[in-house]
């Protein structure tokens, strides 16, 4: 995960920036940089590929001042090189940025037509040029900032300094976190309050879509309409332990909200948006595979079941998904050229690890999709396919799950290319849709208040059924698992087409049925399932998009409307709704959300 630190009006600015970068190292990154403005308003910067320690070696005595910005980068657009490292400078603007600017290609073409030159492959440099162009046109940083935001698509957070403005930081966030803070005669911006804990005295957690202007001991916030707004200021945490959760009530809530950012980082490791291609991964070749075995436990297994639909549809590759604890003991029969993919957040899950060892001993190529690159599974597998979810504290997996889905979606496209089922144009289309997922997830998070209201009623239910078709069938099972894990309500997920084969016997007055029903080619069939359970007295909550909401008007008791997402993106967007629903039901019931009873984060015994 990328990290942003910014400070103005502080004699120890350089020390604060470097300490902030060190505190953000745990999130993962591949380059780092810092830019500082001296008392004359001149900006100087240092950048380095690799670790923050490498950056320290690049710092000179000329890089000093009371105002500056710093960044740890996980490569998205462009390789992990010094040239692509942040901060990026364009004219008077120097800028650091987290996230993805989805429309950067079109913006770059327009800026190039204005005579602007680019020295990197990044979308960040495009943003710097765009802001500099707006400042040159308006002469006013506030006006330029708001005008720039109106042209951006995607999920992002950024901080900028402007040459000649020695006491000014500009920032904004949409689908990625950013906090503003003040201290004695100082102002701060950071993607994580941990970066400035100890230096800041008060903190403002910016809202979705906010723009911010920070001066020493002064913060001005503007909403999506460009109007000045007051956001509540709170005492800044005094220890890193207190800072870790930020302003969220639970780690699970924080981790749900981190998803646009971490899914974007994960996808960036698999996709080359400049070339419109999935990056080849050393050792991964599905072209001659006879079958793909996917093995995992719990949520990881459901991620694999969703991916089964993708690999078979896009690549024509037969897939078999197994629960690790069963796979180990059923004496599975292997075929020549089988490839085995194991999914684990921790890389230490006992059943999954032993299943992997069994396949490795049988001579199969083993791939592990894992969030912990130093784990046992990562060390023992033939190939490691990483996710970039960062540490996940809540026992109920959220961001690890969606990062797994993002990785699996990219690998399914890669398999389609390698097996000759996807041509260059189709690959580019898939990459564009995948890169748009973080922005869609950020939009989906805006339904939180509606879901909180629905959860108050759902918390009274004794049984909840989830229904879905195609890849939304395993998503229904994942939704039911989340609800069971943290609210202790009995919940089950079913394929909507199986309703008449038994589950419909459970339907009676006021039984809650949650139906995942995007407006796709199977919508009409899913709609018939809604009508069947509604006719028998069920209270139906439909999770759909705008077209589905219009079609279901009057047919569901409540409708949760998500942004319209097509193809591979749709399950990740739906995941936001099922996670928020489970979370708020548990909050209303008063359960221990982050550490539910009888459960452990990593199951390292049978």
Alpha carbon distance 127, 148 (integer Å): 8
Residue 500 half-sphere exposure toward CB, CA atoms < 13 A: 8
Asked if 34 and 59 touch (Cβ cutoff 8 Å), the reply is yes
Catalytic residue among 51, 105, 589, 601: 601
Q: Where are the beta strands (DSSP E) in 217-324?
A: 218-222, 228-229, 233-235, 271-272, 277-278, 291-296, 319-323
CB environment 429-465: b (16+ within 10 A), e (fewer)? ebbebbbbbbbbbbbbbebbeebbebbebbbebeebb
Q: 154 in helix, strand or coil?
A: strand
Quickly tell me which residue has 């600017």 as its tokens: 101
Q: What is the DSSP string of 98-116?
A: EEEETTHHHHHHHHHHTT-
Residue 25 half-sphere exposure toward CB, CA atoms < 13 A: 12
Asked if 365 and 390 touch (Cβ cutoff 8 Å), the reply is no
End-to-end C-alpha distance for the chain, whole angstroms: 32
Alpha carbon distance 492, 35 (integer Å): 53
Number of helical H runs and strand E runs in the chain: 20, 27
Within a 10 A sphere around the Cβ of 90, how many other Cβ atoms? 23
Q: Shortest CA distance to 160 belongs to which of 231, 218, 98?
A: 98
CB environment 526-563: b (16+ within 10 A), e (fewer)? bbebbebbbeeebbbbbbbbeebbeebeeebebbbbbb
12 carries an active-site annotation: no
Alpha carbon distance 544, 562 (integer Å): 6
Alpha carbon distance 182, 505 (integer Å): 60
403 carries an active-site annotation: no
Q: Shortest CA distance to 118 belongs to which of 162, 156, 78?
A: 78
Q: Shortest CA distance to 319 belongs to which of 297, 348, 286, 349?
A: 286
Beta strand 211-215 with 169-174 is: antiparallel
Alpha carbon distance 112, 335 (integer Å): 54
Catalytic residue among 2, 173, 297, 403: 2
Active site residues: 2, 601
């Amino acid at each position: 995960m990328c990290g942003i630190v910014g400070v103005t009006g502080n004699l120890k600015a350089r020390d604060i920036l470097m300490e902030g970068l060190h505190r953000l190292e745990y999130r993962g990154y591949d380059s780092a940089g810092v830019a500082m403005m001296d008392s004359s308003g001149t900006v100087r910067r240092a950048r380095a590929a690799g670790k923050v320690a490498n950056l320290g070696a690049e710092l000179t005595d000329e890089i000093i001042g009371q105002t500056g910005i710093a960044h740890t980068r996980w490569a998205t657009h462009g390789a992990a090189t010094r040239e692509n490292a942040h901060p990026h400078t364009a004219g008077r603007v120097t800028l650091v940025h987290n996230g993805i600017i989805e429309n950067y290609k079109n913006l770059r073409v327009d800026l190039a037509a204005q005579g602007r030159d680019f020295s990197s492959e990044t979308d960040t440099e495009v943003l710097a040029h765009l802001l500099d162009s707006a400042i040159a046109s308006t002469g006013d940083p506030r006006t330029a900032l708001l005008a720039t935001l109106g042209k951006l698509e995607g999920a992002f957070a950024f901080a900028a300094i402007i040459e000649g403005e020695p006491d000014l930081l500009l920032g904004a966030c949409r689908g990625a976190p950013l906090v503003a803070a003040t201290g004695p005669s100082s102002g701060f911006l950071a993607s994580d309050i941990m970066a400035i804990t100890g230096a800041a005295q008060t903190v403002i957690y910016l809202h979705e879509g906010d723009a911010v202007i920070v001066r020493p001991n002064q913060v001005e916030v503007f909403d999506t309409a460009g109007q000045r707004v007051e956001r509540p200021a709170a005492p800044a945490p005094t220890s890193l332990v207190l800072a870790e959760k930020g302003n969220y009530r639970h780690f699970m809530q924080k981790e749900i909200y981190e998803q646009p950012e971490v899914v974007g980082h994960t996808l960036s490791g698999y996709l080359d948006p400049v070339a419109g291609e999935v990056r080849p991964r050393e050792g991964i070749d599905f072209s001659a595979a006879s079958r793909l075995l996917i093995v995992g436990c719990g949520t990881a297994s459901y991620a694999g079941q969703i991916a089964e639909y993708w690999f078979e549809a896009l690549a024509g590759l037969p897939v078999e998904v197994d629960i690790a604890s069963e796979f180990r003991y059923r004496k599975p029969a292997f075929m020549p050229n089988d490839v085995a993919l194991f999914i684990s957040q921790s890389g230490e899950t006992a059943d999954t690890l032993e299943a992997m060892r069994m396949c490795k001993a049988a001579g199969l190529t083993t791939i592990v999709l894992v969030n912990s690159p130093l784990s046992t599974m990562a060390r023992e597998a033939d190939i490691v396919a990483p996710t970039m979810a960062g540490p996940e504290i809540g026992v109920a997996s959220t961001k690890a799950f969606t990062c797994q889905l993002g990785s699996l979606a990219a690998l399914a496209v890669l398999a389609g290319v390698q097996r000759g089922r996807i041509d260059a144009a189709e690959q580019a289309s898939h990459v564009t849709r995948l890169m748009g997922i973080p922005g869609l997830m950020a939009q989906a998070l805006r339904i939180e208040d509606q879901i909180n209201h629905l959860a108050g009623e759902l918390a009274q239910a004794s049984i909840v059924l989830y229904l879905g078709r195609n890849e939304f069938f395993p998503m229904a099972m994942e939704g039911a698992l989340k609800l069971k894990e943290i609210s202790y309500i009995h919940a089950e997920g079913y394929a909507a087409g199986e309703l008449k084969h038994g589950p419909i016997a459970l339907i009676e007055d006021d039984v809650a049925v949650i139906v995942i029903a995007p407006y796709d080619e199977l919508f009409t069939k899913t709609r018939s399932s809604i009508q069947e359970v509604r006719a028998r007295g069920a209270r139906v909550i439909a999770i759909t998009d705008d077209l589905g909401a219009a079609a279901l008007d009057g047919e569901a008791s409540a409708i949760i409307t998500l942004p319209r997402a097509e193809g591979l993106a749709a399950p990740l967007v739906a995941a936001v709704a099922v996670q928020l629903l489970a979370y708020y039901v548990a909050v209303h019931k008063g359960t221990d959300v982050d550490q539910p009873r009888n459960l452990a984060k990593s199951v390292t015994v049978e």
